[in-house]
Amino acid sequence: MENVVRYALDGSIATINIDNPPVNALSVAVRRGLLDALERAREDGCEAVLLSCDGRTFIAGADITEFGKPPASPSLPEVVKELERFPKPVFVALHGNVLGGGLEVAMAAHYRGIVPGTKLGLPEVKLGLIPGAGGTQRLPRLVGAETALEMMTTGKPITAEEALRLGLTDVLLEGAGKEDALRWVLNSLGNDARPRPTAACKVPSQPPVEFFDEYRKRIAQKTRGQIAPEIVVELVELAMQVPVSDGQLVERERFLQCRESPQSAALRHVFFAERATSRASGIPADTPSRSVDGVAVIGAGTMGRGIAMAFANAGLPVCIVESNQERLEQGLEAIGKSYATSVRRGRLDASEVASRMACLVGTTDYEDIADVDLVVEAVFEDLDVKKEVFRKLDDICKPGCVLATNTSYLDVNEIAAATGRPENVIGAHFFSPAHVMKLLEVVRGEGTAPEVVQTFMKLAKSIGKLPVPVGVCNGFVGNRMLRPYARQAQLLLLEVGTPEPIDRAMESWGMAMGPLAVGDLAGLDISYRSRLAQGIKPHSLREYAVADALVEMDRLGQKSGAGYYRYDGYKRSRQVDERTIELILRVGTEWGVPQRSIEESELIDRLLLALINEGAAILRERIAARPSDIDVIYLNGYGFPSWRGGPMFQADQLGLDLVLDKLAHLKKATGDTCWDADPLLVELAERGEALSTLNQA
């Protein structure tokens, strides 16, 4: 037996212990070990089996790293079957995270004890999968169809208390120690515990016939484009009609279908990509970091407030600095209102809000922040204004204080140069609303010390953010890629004559919102001003001529009730607007762009390739360390569908040869230099390599 599974006989109880750090995943060695252990327990003539795990958690699921490889025997369904039909009662002691295959193992056991604080769930849909070891058939038998559907289509875990209430687990164990579990097993044997296979349970109550179709409709919008949630519904419906053994045959087929799907490959890529980003490339893991016990945020505008709340939510004391008392009070009041809304919506209780508010103080005097360990500047997005703030911070802050600038595109090196300590200056591109959005681009300036990057990355993770290290350039990764994407959308707008087909194409492909609708949401004046700042005169470029005219007509997007679309009523649903259509036609005529109908596939190609080509340039310039970092940014900050894996993953799925063919074709058709393939793509394709080879960087 491999040493990831230990077997011992404790009196008449066979104890099986899994020890496979970090999360006791069900690798092939664990599966083999479990079967061997059950065999020994049978030979030893034990009275009962107790299965538990060492370390911080029970089994957190199948070993995800095995999914791309050839299957190895025994399969998890085989192990689960042996466990369930074991002739003596099988007990499991659950702690930590009981997820995926881990919960399936637990459900095949006969008795489930749980330690307070444990989380249980079937998160397979988040990996583009369905539970593949009987979960779709056993869970409805234990908790009913509706709860089972809820758990499996969302993938959200439930608490130990909920599991007990639902009957998914039997008893609350006093502790995670072996003695607690053994005491429970002996007590249960004393009470005549017998094998109790879940497969023999009836489904609690049959829902009405129309229930499943209604459920499908209910989740359609949220699960748009994904195949796994729909299959879950099909299998739970099946569980109502057939024995577990029959249901599991169909489940296995569907599981394999999902496992081989591009969606699952994409979501598995995302799982590992999100974990890899936090390892700042080029910075040794043993780089020391500084402790951060107090933070200051400069500016109580939308971003400053959100950033301050993000720290306060994690219990860090924050001092907000504003230029005058009135603004400061307005800022603090807005924070109070935001928390009050969370209480009203049941997301927080009053005591939680009180402790968060207690973390926040305000001042108009910079001297008050002389002793903080970190300052995040979040003033107006203007280089001169920011440099002025950094000069002040340089004068006042203690040595070793980390000075971060929250900017979405400005030059962090220039801001750092305004101080005498560029090694302590770092960029922090928070996404709005900053207390909600997890993504954070951590911008390493030329002079930023590794220790400062390490400190900021660690701190960001500790407050629940998903920090991605990036280098300095205009717009960093996310906003820099957005530029050619938005430009392409506007060029297409002139050709198509109306925004609707462009947005619809990207939305049906999976984007949360089409590019023109995003422009309306962000406010067309923002990009107008940004163009002015870059020295681009209004109406000087064909691609921005419609957007320029809209801003001059005071059609700024959603906030003014009209932009590319018209937004009517309370719900602000978007409507195609004749005035925009006329404007597009007029501008197109002026610039000599004939209108034509464009296939959806061409619309998608052009927009996606614009992202891919710029992403490649970003990699070549080492602004991002890995293609997967770019994917993480797009998935978490720009509404890219996670089941598509991100723009760089998409490039590999298409194949770099095809990407180059498409770029060459577009160059020929349009003559636009934006379609010159980035040299990195050419080089990789020549070597027959994919972008993913750079993920090992």
Choosing from 132, 144, 637, 641, the residue that interacts with ligand 3H9 (CB under 6 A) is: 132
Neighbours of 696 (CB within 10 A): 7
Residue 97 lies near ligand 3H9 (rule: CB under 6 A): yes
Site size for ligand 3H9 (CB under 6 A)? 24
List helix spans (H) across 397-438: 412-417
CB 612 within 8 A of CB 456: no
Q: Which stretch binds ligand 3H9 (CB under 6 A): 60-68, 389-397, 464-472, 592-600?
A: 60-68
- What does the buried/exposed string (b/e) look like for 199-226 if buried means 16 or more CB atoms within 10 Å of the residue's CB? beeebeeebeeebbeebbeebeeebeeb
Comparing CB distances to ligand 3H9, the nearer of 278 and 338 is 278
Q: Six-digit token pair at 631?
A: 């994917």
Residue 108 lies near ligand 3H9 (rule: CB under 6 A): no
Residue 679 CB, shortest distance to ligand 3H9, in Å, is: 31
Could you say which of 66, 78, 104, 441 is catalytic?
Answer: 104
Which residues in 287-326 contact ligand 3H9 (CB under 6 A)?
none
Residue 666 lies near ligand 3H9 (rule: CB under 6 A): no
Is 78 assigned a catalytic role?
A: no
Residue 192 DSSP SS3 = coil
Choosing from 89, 123, 519, 637, the residue that interacts with ligand 3H9 (CB under 6 A) is: 123
Burial of 159 per CB tally in 10 Å (0-12, 13-18, 19+): middle
Residue 342 CB, shortest distance to ligand 3H9, in Å, is: 24
Q: Which stretch binds ligand 3H9 (CB under 6 A): 123-131, 294-302, 351-359, 517-525?
A: 123-131
Residue 135 CB, shortest distance to ligand 3H9, in Å, is: 6
Report the distance separating Cα 445 and Cα 386, nearest Å.
15
Q: Which stretch binds ligand 3H9 (CB under 6 A): 127-135, 283-291, 380-388, 648-656?
A: 127-135
Residue 411 CB, shortest distance to ligand 3H9, in Å, is: 33
CB 650 within 8 A of CB 665: no
Nearest to 513 by CA among 495, 500, 526, 524: 500
Token pair 């909920």 is found at: 162
Nearest to 527 by CA among 485, 465, 570, 573: 485
Q: Which stretch binds ligand 3H9 (CB under 6 A): 12-20, 59-67, 425-433, 568-576?
A: 59-67
Choosing from 18, 25, 273, 625, the residue that interacts with ligand 3H9 (CB under 6 A) is: 25
Q: The dihedral of CA 71, 72, 78, 83: what is its sign?
A: negative
Residue 23 lies near ligand 3H9 (rule: CB under 6 A): yes
Residue 61 lies near ligand 3H9 (rule: CB under 6 A): yes
Tally the residues of the chain. Answer: 697
Residue 70 lies near ligand 3H9 (rule: CB under 6 A): no
Alpha carbon 2 to chain centroid distance?
Answer: 35
Comparing CB distances to ligand 3H9, the nearer of 99 and 425 is 99
Choosing from 275, 391, 398, 529, the residue that interacts with ligand 3H9 (CB under 6 A) is: 275
Neighbours of 460 (CB within 10 A): 21
Q: CA torsion, points 271, 277, 278, 281, in degrees to nearest 10?
A: 150
Comparing CB distances to ligand 3H9, the nearer of 160 and 416 is 160
Residue 127 lies near ligand 3H9 (rule: CB under 6 A): yes
Cα angle for residues 328, 329, 331 (degrees, 5° grid): 65
Residue 462 lies near ligand 3H9 (rule: CB under 6 A): no
Residue 100 lies near ligand 3H9 (rule: CB under 6 A): yes
Residue 139 CB, shortest distance to ligand 3H9, in Å, is: 11
Report the distance separating Cα 174 and Cα 160, nearest Å.
12
Token pair 């400190």 is found at: 455
Report the distance separating Cα 402 and Cα 104, nearest Å.
47
Comparing CB distances to ligand 3H9, the nearer of 76 and 359 is 76
Nearest to 85 by CA among 77, 73, 95, 93: 77
Comparing CB distances to ligand 3H9, the nearer of 117 and 679 is 117
Could you say which of 124, 495, 500, 614 is catalytic?
Answer: 124
Alpha carbon 502 to chain centroid distance?
Answer: 26
Residue 125 CB, shortest distance to ligand 3H9, in Å, is: 10
Residue 60 lies near ligand 3H9 (rule: CB under 6 A): yes
Cis peptide upstream of residue 22 (ω within 30 degrees of 0): yes
Residue 294, CA atoms < 13 Å, CB-side half-sphere: 13
Q: CA torsion, points 58, 61, 62, 66, in degrees to nearest 10?
A: -100
Choosing from 13, 38, 94, 104, the residue that interacts with ligand 3H9 (CB under 6 A) is: 104
Q: Which stretch binds ligand 3H9 (CB under 6 A): 120-128, 228-236, 317-325, 561-569?
A: 120-128
Choosing from 84, 124, 411, 652, the residue that interacts with ligand 3H9 (CB under 6 A) is: 124
Comparing CB distances to ligand 3H9, the nearer of 69 and 202 is 69
Q: Which stretch binds ligand 3H9 (CB under 6 A): 17-25, 365-373, 484-492, 647-655?
A: 17-25
With residues binned 3-state (H G I as helix, E B as strand, rest as coil), the percentages for the chain, rounded to 5, are: 55, 10, 35
Residue 128 lies near ligand 3H9 (rule: CB under 6 A): no
Residue 629 lies near ligand 3H9 (rule: CB under 6 A): no
Residue 131 lies near ligand 3H9 (rule: CB under 6 A): yes
Neighbours of 539 (CB within 10 A): 14
Residue 268 CB, shortest distance to ligand 3H9, in Å, is: 9
Q: State the distance between the two ends of the chain, measured CA to CA, in whole angstroms.
A: 36
99: region left, alpha or beta (phi > 0 left; psi from -120 to 50 alpha): beta
Comparing CB distances to ligand 3H9, the nearer of 243 and 464 is 464
Comparing CB distances to ligand 3H9, the nearer of 124 and 629 is 124
Report the distance separating Cα 224 and Cα 220, nearest Å.
6
Choosing from 1, 29, 64, 201, the residue that interacts with ligand 3H9 (CB under 6 A) is: 64
Nearest to 455 by CA among 603, 651, 255, 295: 295
Q: Which stretch binds ligand 3H9 (CB under 6 A): 93-101, 187-195, 232-240, 525-533?
A: 93-101
Q: Rounded to whole angstroms, what are the CA distances from 574 to 465, 493, 553?
A: 32, 16, 18
Comparing CB distances to ligand 3H9, the nearer of 184 and 255 is 255
Choosing from 41, 99, 236, 630, the residue that interacts with ligand 3H9 (CB under 6 A) is: 99
Residue 377 lies near ligand 3H9 (rule: CB under 6 A): no
Comparing CB distances to ligand 3H9, the nearer of 127 and 303 is 127
Is 104 assigned a catalytic role?
A: yes
CB 255 within 8 A of CB 130: yes
**Which positions touch ligand 3H9 (CB under 6 A)?**
22-23, 25, 60-65, 76, 97, 99-101, 104, 123-124, 127, 129, 131-133, 135, 275
Active site residues: 104, 124
